[in-house]
């Protein structure tokens, strides 16, 4: 029996906001929530249009009275139902994250929210405060942090296997904006509207992922940034390219290259981190491999496996045995499983598996928003900008 049912006597009940027809991430969230049988999706608002929302909710199998037309209605009704939801998952366009998450916390629900946390730093800091004062669980779906070999890398850095971290290189190279999609019949979409998407398309969409990955693996915050941010395509009004020089809290240096406009590129998220004793390199498109370079020794290519050779942190995030690939969808599911464990611990007062507590938080999300602000400040001033977050 899974640990949540054992402790609660039932699965956790989830309400989803966003992720209607045509959305990429909606089905990913719902599949992830169900993957380890810890959540059931019982309520939802799948569109900003009430009629479409109710129809889309029923189309994914929600009962008619729980396929709501508006998220305020969902929160108001679910908080007083005997069988009401335990948690809310937010996967709307970026500008929806703050109002929905904020109201969900006010209604006493734990929250799972997609990135970027918010579209402004002020809202991000308010959420950090509210999560702290409420004691509720808040999981931000920087899903790449839950790949087994990423957890392995973090554990190796923490154990000192690389020595003192000196250099970090991060990249996320995509190609879906390499042509002017904004001129096509479907129109530019919310990502091209700063009110809905935030101040920088590329930094909000994938820069926050790369930044979080770097901090997660190294355990180090970025404290200063020097940025070249802009567009590759003539006439484009949003950022599709950012090259950032980074300084980390321990004095390590680094860089981050993120773009959605590299023709032919797919989902090229990668990191390299070097300490004074060796380095690690990981590529999302080959997620089961982690390259470990060692000072004075041959490099070794580590492969995800479930036979005791990986650390407990990586085994915790892994499901199938040697040679069977695991990737994006499973990592997403690991965040849901871990959030479920933390929520069940809160509800029952019983401690959860400490390995389940390594999911990204509202504070991690606020650091990502601060990085965006600092990069845009650096673009304006042409100098280094501070991105320390005092909270
Ligand atoms: N973690 C990841 O890997 C990842 C990947 C892609 C997108 N995302 C994030 O997920 C979010 C959504 O991205 P997407 O690509 O699915 O966008 P999308 O435009 O494809 O889908 C957004 C969906 O939200 C619905 N929606 C809009 N306003 C709503 C409201 N007020 N109430 C309920 N539903 C509403 C729309 O009807 C649509 O179905 C963004 O914040 C994005 O940054 C995360």
**Which atom of ligand 1 is found nearest the CA of 45?**
33
Q: How far is the CA of 46 from the centre of ligand 1 (A)?
A: 9
Contact (CB, 8 A) for 36 and 333:
yes
The pair of three-digit structure tokens given for residue 296, joined into one six-digit string:
């004075």
Residue 6 in tokens: 């054992």
Instruction: Ligand 1 pocket test: pick from 70, 73, 91, 195 the residue with the most ligand atoms within 8 Å of its Cβ.
Output: 91
Walk me through the domains of the chain, giving residue ranges and CATH numbers: 3-144+335-360 (3.40.50.720), 146-320+366-386 (3.30.360.10)
Q: How far is the CA of 204 from the centre of ligand 1 (A)?
A: 13
Distance from residue 114's CA to the centre of ligand 1 (Å): 8
* Closest atom, ligand 1, to C-alpha of 21: 39
Under a CB-based contact definition with an 8 Å cutoff, are residues 115 and 209 in contact?
yes
pLDDT of residue 1: 54
pLDDT of the residue at 248: 98
Write the CA distances from 53 to 44, 138, 156, integer angstroms. 8, 25, 45
Closest atom of ligand 1 to 20 CA is: 39
What is the Cα–Cα distance from 363 to 368, expressed in whole angstroms?
Answer: 9
Pocket of ligand 1 (CB under 6 A): 17-20, 22-26, 45-48, 71, 91-94, 96, 114-115, 141, 143, 190, 205
Instruction: Report the separation in Å between the CA atom of 150 and the middle of ligand 1, taken as the mean of its atom positions.
Output: 25
CA-nearest residue for atom 15, ligand 1, is 24
**Residue nearest ligand 1's atom 40 by CA:** 93
Distance 190 CA to ligand 1 centre (A): 9
Burial 200-215 (b: 16+ CB within 10 A, else e): bbbbbbbbbbbbbbbb
pTM above 0.75, yes or no: yes
Alpha carbon nearest to ligand 1 atom 4, residue: 25
With the most atoms of ligand 1 within 8 angstroms of its CB, the residue from 114, 141, 206, 260 to mutate is 114
d(CA 140, ligand 1 centre) in Å: 14
Sign for the CA dihedral angle at 389, 114, 54, 344 comes to negative
Element holding 378 (H helix, E strand): helix 362-381
Torsion of Cα atoms, 309 then 142 then 266 then 204, to 10°: -150
Nearest to 260 by CA among 182, 177, 327, 354: 177
Report the chain (391 residues): mean pLDDT per 10 consecutive residues.
80 98 96 97 98 98 98 98 98 98 98 98 98 98 98 98 98 97 88 96 98 98 98 95 98 98 98 98 98 98 92 96 93 98 96 95 98 98 96 85
Pocket-testing residue among 25, 187, 258, 269, ligand 1, by greatest number of atoms within 8 A of Cβ: 25
Count of positions (residues) in the chain: 391
Q: Could you tell me if 235 and 261 are in contact, meaning their C-beta atoms sit under 8 angstroms apart? A: no
The ligand 1 atom nearest the CA atom of 142: 1
What are the backbone dihedrals phi and psi of residue 29, each rounded to the nearest 5 degrees, phi first?
Answer: -60, -50
Which residue matches tokens 């790449």? 144
CB burial of 71-106 (b: ≥16 within 10 Å; e: otherwise) equals beebbebbeeeeebbbbbbbbbbbbbbbbbbbbbbe
CB atoms closer than 10 angstroms to residue 147: 27
């Amino acid at each position: 029996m899974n640990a949540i049912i054992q402790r609660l006597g039932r699965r956790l009940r989830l309400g989803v906001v966003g992720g209607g027809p045509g959305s990429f991430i909606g089905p990913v969230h719902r599949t992830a929530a169900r993957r380890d049988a810890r959540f059931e999706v019982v309520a939802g608002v799948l569109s900003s249009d009430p009629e479409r929302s109710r129809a889309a909710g029923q189309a994914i199998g929600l009962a008619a009275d729980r396929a709501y037309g508006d998220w305020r209605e969902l929160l108001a009704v679910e908080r007083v139902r005997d069988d009401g939801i335990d948690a809310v998952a937010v996967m709307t366009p970026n500008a929806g994250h703050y109002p929905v998450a904020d109201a969900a916390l006010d209604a006493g629900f734990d929250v799972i929210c997609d990135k970027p946390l918010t579209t402004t730093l002020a809202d991000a800091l308010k959420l950090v405060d509210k999560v702290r004062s409420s004691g509720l669980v808040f999981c931000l779906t920087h899903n790449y942090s839950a790949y087994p070999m990423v957890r392995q890398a973090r554990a190796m850095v923490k154990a000192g296997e690389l020595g003192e971290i000196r250099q970090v290189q991060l990249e996320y190279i995509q190609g879906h904006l390499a042509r002017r999609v904004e001129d096509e019949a479907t129109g530019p979409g919310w990502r091209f509207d700063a009110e809905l998407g935030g101040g920088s398309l590329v930094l909000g969409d994938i820069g926050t992922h790369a930044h979080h990955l770097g901090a997660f693996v190294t355990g180090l915050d970025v404290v200063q940034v020097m940025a070249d941010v802009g567009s590759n395509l003539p006439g484009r009004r949003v950022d599709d390219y950012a090259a950032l020089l980074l300084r980390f809290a321990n004095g390590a240096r680094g860089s981050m290259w993120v773009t959605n406009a590299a023709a032919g590129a797919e989902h090229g998220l990668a990191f390299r981190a070097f300490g004074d004793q060796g380095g690690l390199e990981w590529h999302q498109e080959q997620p089961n491999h982690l390259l470990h370079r060692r000072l004075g020794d041959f490099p070794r290519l580590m492969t995800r496996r479930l036979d005791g050779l990986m650390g407990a942190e990586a085994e915790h995030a892994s499901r199938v045995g040697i040679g069977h690939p695991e990737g994006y969808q499973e990592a997403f599911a690991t965040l849901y499983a871990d959030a479920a464990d933390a929520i069940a611990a809160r509800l029952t007062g019983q401690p959860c598996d400490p390995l389940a507590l390594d999911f990204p938080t509202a504070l991690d999300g606020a650091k990502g928003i601060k990085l965006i602000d600092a990069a845009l400040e650096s673009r304006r001033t042409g100098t280094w900008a501070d991105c320390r977050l005092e909270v």
